[in-house]
Amino acid sequence: MTRAISDRLQQLGVILPHVPPPVANYVPYTRHGELVTISGQLPRGPDGLITGCLGEGLPVDRGVEAARLCAISILAVLGDAVSGDFEHVVGCIQITGFVRSSSSFSEHSTVINGASDLLVSVLGDAGKHARAAIGVASLPFEAAVEISAQFSVK
pLDDT of res. 37 = 98
Domains present along the chain, CATH in parentheses: 3-153 (3.30.1330.40)
Residue 2 has pLDDT above 90, yes or no: no
The alpha carbon torsion through 142, 15, 120, 104 (nearest 10 deg) reads 20
**pLDDT, tens digit, for every residue of 80-136?**
999 988 889 999 999 999 999 999 999 999 999 999 999 999 999 999 999 999 999
- Euclidean distance between CA atoms 146 and 52, whole angstroms: 12
Residue 25 has pLDDT above 70, yes or no: yes
Query: How high is the mean pLDDT of the chain?
Result: 95
